[in-house]
Amino acid sequence: DGKTHKVARRWPAPREPRQLALSPDGRYLAAASTRSGQVRLWDTTTNKLAWEESIGDGFNLRGLAFMPDGASVVCSHVVRRTFPVSKGHIEEGWVIDSRLTRLAVKPPADAPFRQIALDQRGKAVGDPDGLAFRGDALAVSAAGTHELLLFDAGYVPWTTGAPGDFLDVRLEIGEHKMRRVELGGRPLSVAPLAADNEVAVANSLLDAVQVVNVKAGKLTRTVRLGGPAEPSLARRGEALFYDARRSHNQWFSCNTCHSDGHTCGLTFDTLNDDSYGNPKLTPTLRGVTKTGPWTWHGWQKDLGAAVTKSFTETMFGPKPTDDEVKAMLAFLETLEQPPNPHQKDEAAGRGEKLFRGKAGCARCHKGEEYTSEGTYDVGLEYDGSPYRKWNPPSLRGLWDRGPYLHDGRAETLDELLVKHHAPEKLGGEALTPEERKDLIAFLKSL
């Protein structure tokens, strides 16, 4: 409430609601959640959820805007494909695709949503982000490739079902083709301005707001907001982390899977375990400099070498220089856990005693980071890789993770402790349902 400065209402929107959009008439409010891959729409007159839509394999839902007529809402995002990460698969759009999805505000029963693909062969669109309608144009920022995409909104060929891996050929040729405006930095949110045919773009790495004339397809001015004259070492590493042009044909950045230095919560087969067809859950990078060794099997002892391997053998881009590796490590050092809303209470106190005693968790999850340098047989079936043992991930920030285990097989901590990682299977003792709740309360407090 703008007058009382108090929260008037709360609506559930799990897994990182990053963007909000209000319909032109003010009746509907939409939110896009990045990790759950869901768009939700609330009716502000009834204060009820109108619908909730999952966008297939979509994740990193970022930009969100109502079409000018208010009949649809459009979201920008990427899509995970299930092919192993090889140079050939990247080139064909079989690892990550960038798309826009259009959802009807009042859809008929079982109505499919409509999409368009954004990537061009040989010149993909890494990390689509903000979007806005201005005049006859639809403007979409491409954060990873440092540009603004401009479409003639009336000629966008929205299609039901999968739109394919590449931009519709009708948008590559002719009068209504997609235009790409170079902006530099990391362009994020886009907003229409009062002036005809102008949008403003928030550019985080330039510490600036940029103004683009969408009719002319030109950057007209840049408003500097301050910031240091020379970027720090960590800031230079941040620019590398968010740069999709470091990947083959600029399909994705480090950020695409390790979203904002965390995790997208999905599995990918990066071939990092010397085997084919064994996808692994993307680990969080929060606190990563303190939790070596790295990889699910703990074989990587050098974080700098891991950075180099990711750039050259997962992204298939140029080898980073020694200075670039140092910059990346400096940036990774800044990735800390966010404030934890789960405060330690009486239940968590009981859970800590179970953690260090009856459940036996502390034998592997040790010290301040709740991990250890060793690898352990944790009773999981052979996954086809040369490695039979597992390095325990840090438990810090566990409340903001999930799914769990190397392949994401456990959707919740309760499922993890009952089915796949039960204490009695790992040298501890069986817990009662009440004890399990206490243990989970402690784990969420970390």
pLDDT tens per residue across span 338-350: 999 998 999 999 9
With a cut of 90, say whether residue 48 has pLDDT above it: yes
pLDDT of residue 376: 94
Structure tokens given for 285: 């990078």
pLDDT of residue 109: 65
Give, in order, the Cα–Cα distances in Å from 207 to each of 69, 92, 134, 137, 229: 33, 34, 24, 25, 11
The whole-angstrom separation of Cα 402 and Cα 395 is 11
Structure tokens given for 241: 């982390």
3-state SS assignment for residue 321? coil
The pLDDT-based confidence of 283 (bands split at 50, 70, 90) is: very high
3-state SS assignment for residue 48? strand
With a cut of 80, say whether residue 311 has pLDDT above it: yes
pTM given for the model: 0.95
3-state SS assignment for residue 435? helix
The whole-angstrom separation of Cα 219 and Cα 223 is 11
Amino acid at 50: A
With a cut of 80, say whether residue 111 has pLDDT above it: no
With a cut of 90, say whether residue 314 has pLDDT above it: yes
Average pLDDT over residues 188-212: 96
The whole-angstrom separation of Cα 116 and Cα 166 is 9
The pLDDT-based confidence of 143 (bands split at 50, 70, 90) is: very high
Percent of the chain with pLDDT strictly greater than 90: 89
Q: Which range, of 80-94, 105-119, 316-330, averages the lowest pLDDT? A: 105-119
Cβ–Cβ < 8 Å for 287, 335: yes
Give, in order, the Cα–Cα distances in Å from 347 to each of 127, 351, 412, 442, 443: 41, 6, 18, 7, 11
Give, in order, the Cα–Cα distances in Å from 294 to each of 244, 264, 290, 329, 392: 23, 18, 10, 14, 10
The whole-angstrom separation of Cα 103 and Cα 113 is 5
Cα 33 from chain centroid (whole Å):
10
pLDDT of residue 384: 80
Q: Please provide the average confidence, as pLDDT, over all residues in the chain.
A: 95
The whole-angstrom separation of Cα 191 and Cα 196 is 13
The pLDDT-based confidence of 107 (bands split at 50, 70, 90) is: confident
The pLDDT-based confidence of 115 (bands split at 50, 70, 90) is: very high
With a cut of 70, say whether residue 240 has pLDDT above it: yes
With a cut of 90, say whether residue 227 has pLDDT above it: no
The pLDDT-based confidence of 56 (bands split at 50, 70, 90) is: confident
Higher-pLDDT residue of 123, 274: 123
Structure confidence by residue, pLDDT tens digits, 63-93: 999 999 999 999 999 999 999 999 999 999 9
Structure confidence by residue, pLDDT tens digits, 369-418: 999 999 999 988 887 888 989 999 999 999 999 999 999 999 999 999 99
